[in-house]
Amino acid sequence: MKYVAHEYQNYAEEFIIKHPACGLMLDMGLGKTVITLTAIDNLMYDYFDVAKVLVIAPLRVAQDTWGKECEKWEHLKGLRISKVLGPEKERRIALARKADIYIINRENVEWLCTNYKLDFDMVVIDELSSFKSPTAKRFKALRKARPQVKRIVGLTGTPAPNSLLDLWSEINLLDMGQRLGRFIGSYRNEYFVPDKRNQQVIFSYKLRDGAEDLIYNKISDICVSMKACDYLKMPDRIDNFVEVQMSEKEEALYKKLESEMLLPFADGDIDAVNAAALSNKLLQMANGAVYDEFKAVKIIHSKKLEALEDLIEAANGKPVLIFYAYKHDKERISEKFKVTAILTSEDISKWNNGEINIAIAHPASTGHGLNLQAGGSTVIWFGLTWSLELYQQANARLWRQGQKETVVIHHIVSKGTIDEQVMKALQKKRIGQDALINAVKARIGGGAYDKNR
């Protein structure tokens, strides 16, 4: 297929070429992979600036997306790709193979940096937000090896999925501490103050007055952001919230666990040792089942399954994609409906070819880089997630450019439970992230790019 770039894609490509270290905060569906591959191709064969590139990506994206993009576009077919995946022996063979681009999953970054010199002219981090934790081994390993790399590009649609504290490690990998400081502690002290705390234990931080604008200004020279709705004709989207109500008996069990952090059963108690564990247990109960102390599943209610049945019937034969949260969710859904899990490249092809009517997936396994818009336009969230990143990325598998129908996103919410708090939290985080995106929006031709011209 011949690649005819949009003006915003040309802009982003030039941004990569002109900036040895840069972050592209591109919304889902804007084509960040083809943009980056085109820039790599030009840097290799027009500018002769790079000869060997490493791409770090989520496993499924590393397996499928980057290679398929090279096969899809005529101008990229000359790029040689080696996938550094699988068992260690296969990874070593892949690294020894002559290629232009080496693709590795992010879980093996520490292994690569420990066992090899990072002799790549350019590193691309697909989903830069997966390096948001400064204590993660993958971040520490890549940060140590970062000075060996001449060019680096960070790609993400969700740069600050939880708060602007997440930005420090991401930007640090790009500029080695020039803009937000070399240490997370200094960054936190300069721009944040303690928020929720218990005496000397600080649970969260909030921004100092004026700090938000200061952070945006600091990173604006090497980061560019673009929202799909500004540049593409996105399909219509309808968000639907389906409330279910537990019975009095079921609600009493929920309230008891919520207040006492313990539900006694003859064959195994359900207990929560801390607030995080309690949140997890309550989310499970809202879905209708929960693991006890022996990892056995206790069925609490079937209200979400009943609502799911209604939604599937209302789809009237149209394909639906169900997102679940826990293994017992998947098991109960699979027992009631004939579903196909989206796990492999073959499953993705079958879905896009219209061969799967009810698909089921965990948002973490389909959250990044997979194009599923050809197979359907209906999403059902059976189990909700606290992660804004997973939520947005999962929805973007269907709600993206190329989708020919209105996308309907159903959320099954158990009334009076933690589900309601999750939905509020997702909305609150989105507001903060939208502010970041808007602050570093791309300026093309001296002003905001007009998608209608």
What pLDDT is recorded for position 443? Answer: 61
Buried b (16+ CB within 10 A) or exposed e, 120-159: bbbbbbbbbbbbbebebebbbbbbebbeebebbbbbbbbb
Q: Please determine, for residue 263, whether its predicted confidence score (pLDDT) is greater than 80.
A: no
What pLDDT is recorded for position 323? Answer: 96
Q: How many percent of the chain have pLDDT more than 70? A: 93
pLDDT in tens, 298-327: 899 999 999 999 999 888 889 999 999 999
Of 239, 307, 287, 294, which is closest to residue 266 (Cα–Cα)?
294
Backbone phi and psi for residue 152, each to the nearest 5 degrees, phi listed first? -145, 140
pLDDT in tens, 411-437: 999 999 999 999 998 888 877 777 777
d(CA 69, CA 246): 47
What pLDDT is recorded for position 276? Answer: 73
| Band of residue 453 on the pLDDT scale cut at 50, 70, 90 | very low
Q: Please determine, for residue 367, whether its predicted confidence score (pLDDT) is greater than 60.
A: no
Rounded mean pLDDT of 398-409?
87
What count of other Cβ atoms lies within 10 Å of the Cβ of residue 64? 19
Report if pTM > 0.75.
no
Was domain 237-246+301-435 assigned CATH 3.40.50.300? Answer: yes
d(CA 195, CA 330): 37
What pLDDT is recorded for position 77? Answer: 92
Token pair recorded at residue 450? 């007009």
DSSP state, residue 131: G
DSSP state, residue 27: P
pLDDT in tens, 15-65: 999 999 999 998 777 889 999 999 999 999 999 999 999 999 988 789 888
Same fold, 7-232 and 237-246+301-435: yes
What pLDDT is recorded for position 266? Answer: 55
Q: Please determine, for residue 196, whether its predicted confidence score (pLDDT) is greater than 90.
A: no
pLDDT in tens, 124-133: 999 898 899 9
pLDDT in tens, 335-357: 999 999 998 888 988 999 999 99
88 vs 202, more confident: 88
What count of other Cβ atoms lies within 10 Å of the Cβ of residue 383? 24
Q: Please determine, for residue 271, whether its predicted confidence score (pLDDT) is greater than 70.
A: no
The domain limits of the chain are 7-232, 237-246+301-435
Rounded mean pLDDT of 145-150?
96
| Band of residue 446 on the pLDDT scale cut at 50, 70, 90 | very low
Of 310, 302, 311, 349, which is closest to residue 329 (Cα–Cα)?
302
For 7-232, CATH number?
A: 3.40.50.10810
